[in-house]
A and B are shown apart, each in its own frame.
Chain A
Amino acid sequence: MKRKVIEEKFFLVLMIISATLIVSIIVLILTSIIIKGFSSFNLAMVSQTPKGGYYLGKEGGILNAIIGSFYIAGGATALATALGIPVVMLMNVYLKADSKVSAVLRLCFDVLWGVPSIVYGAFGFTLMIFFGLKASLIAGIIVVSILILPIIIRAIDEISQTIPEGLFHASLSLGATKLETGFKVNAKQILPGILTAVLMAFGRAIGDAASVLFTAGYSDSIPTSLTDSAATLPLTIFFQLSSPIKEVQDRAFAAVLILTIIVLCISLLSRLLTNRHNKYKI
Chain B
Amino acid sequence: MFKLGTSLRSRVRTNNLAYYLFYLIGAISASLVLVIGIGLLIKSYPIIESHGFFNSIFSIDWYPLKSKFGLLPFLVSSCYVSLLALIISVPVCLLTAIYLIEYASKKVLNLFFPIIDILAGLPSVILGVWGVIIIVPFIRDYLAPFFGVHSTGYSILAGSIVLSIMLVPNIILVFIEILKTIPQELREASLSLGATRWETIKFVVLRKSIPGIIAGIILGLSRAFGETLAVLMVVGNVVQIPKSVFDPGYPLPALIANNYGEMLSIPLYDSALMFSALVLFAVVLFFNLVSKLFLNRLIKYLKY
Query: A residues near B, CB below 8 A?
Result: 4-5, 7-8, 11-12, 14-19, 21-23, 25-30, 32-33, 36, 83, 86-87, 89-91, 94, 104-105, 107-112, 114-123, 125-127, 146, 149, 153, 177-180, 183, 200, 203-204, 206-210, 213-214, 234, 237-238, 241, 252-253, 256, 259-260, 263-264, 266-267, 271
Instruction: Report the minimum CB–CB distance from A73 to chain B (whole Å).
Output: 11
Query: Which B18-53 residues sit within 8 Å CB-CB of chain A?
Result: 18-19, 21-23, 25-26, 29-33, 36, 39-40, 43
**Residue among B18, B23, B92, B292 with most chain A CB within 10 A:** B18
CA distance A76 to B20 in the complex (A): 24
B260 x A125 contact (CB < 8 A) = yes
Complex contact B26–A90 (CB within 8 A):
yes
Assess the A11–B198 pair: CB atoms within 8 A. Answer: yes
A118 & B18 in contact (Cβ 8 Å cutoff):
no
Task: Tell me the complex Cα distance, A208–B197, Å.
Answer: 43
B118 to A115, Cβ gap below 8 A? Answer: no
B15 touches A19 (CB 8 A): no
Query: Is residue B77 contacting chain A, with contact meaning CB distance below 8 A?
Result: no
**CB within 8 A of A119: which of B165, B281, B293?**
B281
Question: Quick one: CB contact mask for B224-265 with A, threshold 8 Å, 1 for yes?
Answer: 011111000100000000000000000001001100100000
Docked complex Cα distance between A94 and B20 (Å): 10
Interface residues of B, count at CB 8 A: 84
Within 8 Å CB of A22, what residues of B?
92-93, 96, 116, 168, 172
Bound Cα distance from A269 to B37, whole angstroms: 36
Q: Is B100 close to A, CB under 8 A?
A: yes
B: residues with CB less than 8 A from A are 1-2, 11-12, 14-15, 18-19, 21-23, 25-26, 29-33, 36, 39-40, 43, 91-93, 95-96, 98-100, 103-104, 108, 112, 114-119, 121-130, 132-134, 165, 168, 172, 196-199, 219, 222-223, 225-229, 233, 253, 256-257, 260, 273-274, 277, 280-281, 284-285, 288-289, 292-293
What are some 10 contacts across the A-B interface (CB < 8 A)?
A: A8-B198, A15-B96, A22-B96, A32-B133, A94-B22, A108-B30, A116-B226, A180-B2, A204-B121, A214-B260
The answer to whether A119 and B284 touch across the interface, beta carbons within 8 angstroms, is: yes
Q: Please give 6 more A-B residue pairs, beta carbons under 8 A apart, in addition to A15-B99, A23-B115, A116-B253.
A: A8-B196, A15-B103, A22-B92, A114-B284, A115-B226, A210-B257
Q: What distance in Å separates the Cβ of B272 from its nearest Cβ neighbour in chain A?
A: 12
A26 to B129, CA, bound (A): 14
Q: Is the interface of A mostly helix, strand, loop or mixed?
A: helix
Cβ–Cβ contact A86 & B280, under 8 A: no
Q: Are B118 and A86 in contact (CB under 8 A)?
A: no
